[in-house]
Amino acid sequence: MTDKKPSINDLAKKLNVSKTTISFILNGKAKEKRISDSLVEKVQKEALKLGYQPNLFAKSLRTGRTNIIGLMVEDISNPFYASIAKLIEDKVYQNGYKIVYCSTENDKTRAKDFLAMFNTLSVDGCILAPPKGLESEIKEMIEKGKNIVLFDRKFGSKLTDTVMVNNQQGMYSAVKHLIERGYKNIGLVALALVKPEKEDRIIGYKQAITDYGMIPYVYPLPFKTQHQEYVADVKLILSQNKQLDALLFGTNYLAIAGLEAINQLYLKIPTDIAVVCFDDHDLFRIYKPGITVVAQPIEEIAQTVIDTLLQNMQKPASEKKPARTISLSTTLIIRESS
C-alpha cells in the first residue's frame, strides 16, 4: 500500500554511485566538489524519474535546520492578522520555508504553550505578535540563538528586532482631525491589555487631547473572545456618556462592535456621533457612511517583518546586530464618518 518514498540509498544502489556523491549533486555542490558533468546528469535524471524527495526530517536532524517559521498572532481570523499571514506566506515560501501558525487570544498561558511548541518543533525563526508577559520566555529563546522578529506588539526592553506602526502618532493624527472638524467630546474605546497608560494608542490620544486642551474620555477594555460583549460595552459607554460627539476605536473589531452598538441605539453617524477607527477593514471602506480610519501599512509591515527575519537567519549568530525597532507610518484615510 503505502509505497515507501525512495531514499538516497535507493538512488545510490540503483545508480551504483555513493550516496555522498548523490547528496553533493542534489544539493548543488557538484561544481564545488568537481563532480563530472555526466555523473551529475545521470543522477539528476534518475532522481527526477524516481520522484526522489529528500526526507526533511533526516536532513533537519543532521543539519539542525528545519526551514519552518512559527507565526504567532492574536487571532488568525482577524482580517489584520489574516492579511499579514497571507502576505508573509508568499514571501516565505519563495525562500523554501514553511509556516506554522497559532492564535494566542492574548492569553499568556496559551501563548507560552505555543512558544514551547515552536521550540519542540525546532523552528528556525519566529514571527510573533506576543501577548504581554511573555518577555522572559522570548528572551530565553533569543539567548538560545532563535531568530525572532516581533511585530504589532513590543516590550519595554529592546529584546529583538521589532516592526511597529507608529501607534502614538497615528492616534494623535486621528484626534487632531476630529478636533479640527469641530468635535469637542472625543472618546476613545481601546484595548488595554495591561495598564492603559502603557498603551501607545491611548498615549497618542491623551497627548493630542492635552495639546488641544480638551477633556479626555478613555474607555479601556480587556480582551474578550465573545464579540457580543464588546457590543454591550460600547452601548453602555454611549448611553452613560451622552456628551460624547465623537468616538475613536483602537482596533477594527472594537469599531465593528461600536457600529453595531450605534445602530442599536439608533444614533446617526456623523451627526449624532463621529467615528474613527485605528486599522482599516473592508467594512469601513464600504459602510455607509464610510468610516474614517488610521490605516496600517499592511504590505509594508509584512515585507519588513519577513525581510528582517530572513536576513537574521542568514547571518551567523556571531555577527548579530543589536536589536532594532522599525517604526512604520500610518495613513489617515478620511471618509464620511467624521
Partner DNA sequence: CTGAAAGCGCTTACAG
Q: Is 120 in the site for DNA (CB under 7 A)?
A: no
Give the interface segment with its own copies, choosing from 11-19, 57-65, 190-198, 211-219 (CB under 8 A).
57-65
Ramachandran angles phi, psi of 195, nearest 5°:
-85, 130
| Cα dihedral 81, 87, 88, 89 sign | positive
Give residues 246-275 in contact with DNA (rule: CB under 7 A): none
Q: Is 21 in the site for DNA (CB under 7 A)?
A: yes
Q: Is 57 in the site for its own copies (CB under 8 A)?
A: yes
Q: Which of 163, 126, 121 is nearest to 142 (CA)?
A: 126
Q: What are the C-alpha distances in Å from 14 to residues 46, 47, 56, 59?
A: 9, 10, 22, 21
User: Cα–Cα distance between 201 and 207 in angstroms, integer?
Assistant: 10
Instruction: Note if the bond before 289 is cis, omega within 30 degrees.
Output: yes
Tally: H helices and E strands in the chain: 13, 12
Q: Is 3 in the site for its own copies (CB under 8 A)?
A: yes
Q: Which of DNA, its own copies, none lies near 17, with the C-beta cut-off 5 to 8 A by kind?
A: DNA
CB of 307 to DNA, least distance (A): 25
Give the interface segment with its own copies, choosing from 34-42, 92-100, 161-169, 195-203 (CB under 8 A).
92-100
Q: Is 7 in the site for DNA (CB under 7 A)?
A: yes
**Ordered DSSP codes for 264-302:** HTT--TTTT-EEEEES--HHHHHSSSPPEEEE--HHHHH
Rounded to a whole number of angstroms, the CA Rg of the chain reads: 26
CB of 15 to its own copies, least distance (A): 21
Going by C-beta distance under 8 Å and a sequence separation of 6 or more, which residues neighbour residue 145?
A: 317
Give residues 293-322 in contact with DNA (rule: CB under 7 A): none
Query: Mask 109-138, x = binds its own copies (CB under 8 A)?
Result: ----xx-xx-xxxx----------------
Instruction: Note if the bond before 270 is cis, omega within 30 degrees.
Output: yes
Nearer residue to its own copies within complex by CB, 42 or 59: 59
Give residues 240-279 in contact with its own copies (rule: CB under 8 A): 256, 259-260, 263
Q: Which of 5, 76, 82 is nearest to 47 (CA)?
A: 5
Which helix (H) or strand (E) segment is 23 a member of? Answer: helix 19-26
Contacting its own copies (CB under 8 A), which of 7, 23, 44, 60?
60
Joined grid coordinates for residue 59: 536532513
Contacting DNA (CB under 7 A), which of 13, 45, 55, 317?
55
CB of 14 to DNA, least distance (A): 13
Q: How many CB atoms lie within 10 A of CB 285?
A: 13
Going by C-beta distance under 8 Å and a sequence separation of 6 or more, which residues neighbour residue 85?
A: 71, 73, 76, 99, 101
Give the interface segment with its own copies, choosing from 36-44, 95-103, 205-213, 326-334 (CB under 8 A).
95-103
Q: Is 75 in the site for its own copies (CB under 8 A)?
A: yes
CB of 38 to DNA, least distance (A): 8
Q: Which residues bind to DNA, rule: CB under 7 A?
A: 4-5, 7-9, 16-21, 23-24, 26-27, 33-36, 39, 52-55, 58-59, 61-63
Q: Which residues bind its own copies (CB under 8 A)?
A: 1-3, 53-58, 60-61, 66, 68, 75-79, 82-83, 85-86, 89, 93, 98-103, 113-114, 116-117, 119-122, 143-145, 256, 259-260, 263, 282-283, 285-288, 317-318
